[in-house]
């Protein structure tokens, strides 16, 4: 049995039409549970929704297989970034699938969801030999993987996983990803009338601006980036601002570097604030922890073997994007993040193609049966 491209594209188009923005994945969660139950899979929804303030939990599924073969997990996320309400997919004669242009398409990560469901359907219909297949459809991945962070991995059978959540041509997989450390820095000065007695004020925005001007932004070395993305402060044009809140993040392929750089940034704000009589307080949060999958690991060799089986050239890369694989790695599940037919993600120009969706499904099916 082979992948059915028509069925696959129909499934993808159907998924796109369901609203599934972060924290509001309920319609899509219900659909994937129904689909997996129709394949006679064990299906479970956890309590992630209640714990993170959403309307759906993570969805876990198990397709029984030959217990003499190693269990494998396949993961994709259900949520899509905004603007995504009311999204619709259009299929062009050349096989390109895009939105109407006023929303994202949602290929990130509905392409991964559709591909996994199609591969499972082929397994169910064909009788192809495979080991136990575990599926994890997560919620709230787009907000630093909050869904998978609260998932209970203690009952998971698999020690290896493939996370279908990477942009780029099918055949690409990321074996390393960064720590992501977020910073919220609050600078507190003193308000005063900006026209009559500005000398009595302590300018919180000025202190923050001084600190930012001293930071190196973008790539600070070949494996670490820094960004300041949000600045909020002030109440009126005639008041010396007494509070300024700055938000940013550090990403590094080495966790120790990410933490050290975050502490350095906090120190720069503290020094700038102190210099003018203000105070600065930094809230540093670890949003993701770096991992690197050894290139000689079976999860890599299986991927390379499956690529060759479907006539793809495997390409292994490092990425500066986080994914659910960061959380899997923290729970002793070794994985790769696999490219899955998504391009120009997080924009209204996002698209996929019938050809790439089909290739992704063929590769996923090959991964599911590679040990047979």
Are the beta carbons of 353 and 341 closer than 8 angstroms?
Answer: yes
Alpha-carbon 107 to chain mean position: 13
The neighbour count for residue 1, using CB atoms within 10 Å, is 12
DSSP run (H or E) holding 271? helix 255-275
Q: How far apart (Å, rounded) are the C-alpha atoms in residues 320 and 194? A: 43
Active site includes 292? Answer: no
* DSSP one-letter string for 145-162: THHHHT--GGG---SEEE
Q: Do residues 195 and 338 make contact, with C-beta atoms less than 8 angstroms apart? A: no
Q: Annotated catalytic, 356?
A: no
77 is written with which tokens?
């996320």
Q: Which of 79, 165, 270, 324 is catalytic?
A: 79
Phi, psi of 204 (to 5 degrees): -65, -40
Are 365 and 3 contacting, i.e. CB atoms less than 8 angstroms apart? yes
- Cα separation of 353 and 168, whole Å? 12
Q: What is the DSSP string of 6-73?
A: HHHHHHHHHHHTS--BTT--HHHHHHHHHHHHHTT-EEEE-SHHHHHT-S---EEEEE---TTSPPEE
DSSP string, 96-165: EEEE-SSS---HHHHHHHHHHHHHHHHHHHH------EEEEEESSTTTTTHHHHT--GGG---SEEEEEE
Assigned token pair, 243: 């509070």
195 alpha-carbon distance from chain centroid = 48
Selection from 111, 112, 91 nearest residue 100 by Cα? 91
d(CA 257, CA 239): 39
- Rounded to an integer, what is the distance from CA 259 to the centroid of its chain? 21
Catalytic hit among 108, 141, 242, 304: 141
User: What residues are annotated to the active site?
Assistant: 79, 141
């Amino acid at each position: 049995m082979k992948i059915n491209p028509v069925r696959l594209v129909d499934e993808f188009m159907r998924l796109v039409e369901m609203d599934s923005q972060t924290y509001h994945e309920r319609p899509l969660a219900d659909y994937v549970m129904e689909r997996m139950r129709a394949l006679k899979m064990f299906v479970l929804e956890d309590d992630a929704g209640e714990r993170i303030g959403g309307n759906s939990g993570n969805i876990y599924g198990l397709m029984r297989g030959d217990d003499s073969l190693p269990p494998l997990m396949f993961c994709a996320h259900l949520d899509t970034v905004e603007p995504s309400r009311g999204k619709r997919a259009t299929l062009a004669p050349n096989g390109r699938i895009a939105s109407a242009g006023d929303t994202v398409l949602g290929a990130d990560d509905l392409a991964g969801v559709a591909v996994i469901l199609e591969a499972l359907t082929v397994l169910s219909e064909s009788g192809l030999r495979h080991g136990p297949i575990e599926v994890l459809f997560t919620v709230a991945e787009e907000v630093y993987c909050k869904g998978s962070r609260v998932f209970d991995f203690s009952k998971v059978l698999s020690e290896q996983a493939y996370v279908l959540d990477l942009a780029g041509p099918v055949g690409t997989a990321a074996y390393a990803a960064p720590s992501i450390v977020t910073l919220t820095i609050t600078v507190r000065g003193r308000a005063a009338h900006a026209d009559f007695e500005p000398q009595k004020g302590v300018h919180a925005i000025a202190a923050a601006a001084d600190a930012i001007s001293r930071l190196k932004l973008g790539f600070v070395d070949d494996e670490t980036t820094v960004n300041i993305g949000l600045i909020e402060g002030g109440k009126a044009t005639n008041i010396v601002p007494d509070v300024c809140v700055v938000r940013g993040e550090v990403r590094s392929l080495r966790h120790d570097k990410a933490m050290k750089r975050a502490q350095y940034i906090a120190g720069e704000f503290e020094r700038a604030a102190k210099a003018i009589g203000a105070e600065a307080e930094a809230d540093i949060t670890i949003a993701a922890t770096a991992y690197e999958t050894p290139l000689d690991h079976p999860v890599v060799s299986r991927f390379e073997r499956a690529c060759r089986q479907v006539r793809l050239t495997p390409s292994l890369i490092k990425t500066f994007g986080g994914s659910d694989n960061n959380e899997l790695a923290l729970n002793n599940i070794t994985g790769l993040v696999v490219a899955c037919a998504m391009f120009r993600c997080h924009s209204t120009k996002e698209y996929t193609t019938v050809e790439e969706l089909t290739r992704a499904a063929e590769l996923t099916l090959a991964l599911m049966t590679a040990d047979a």
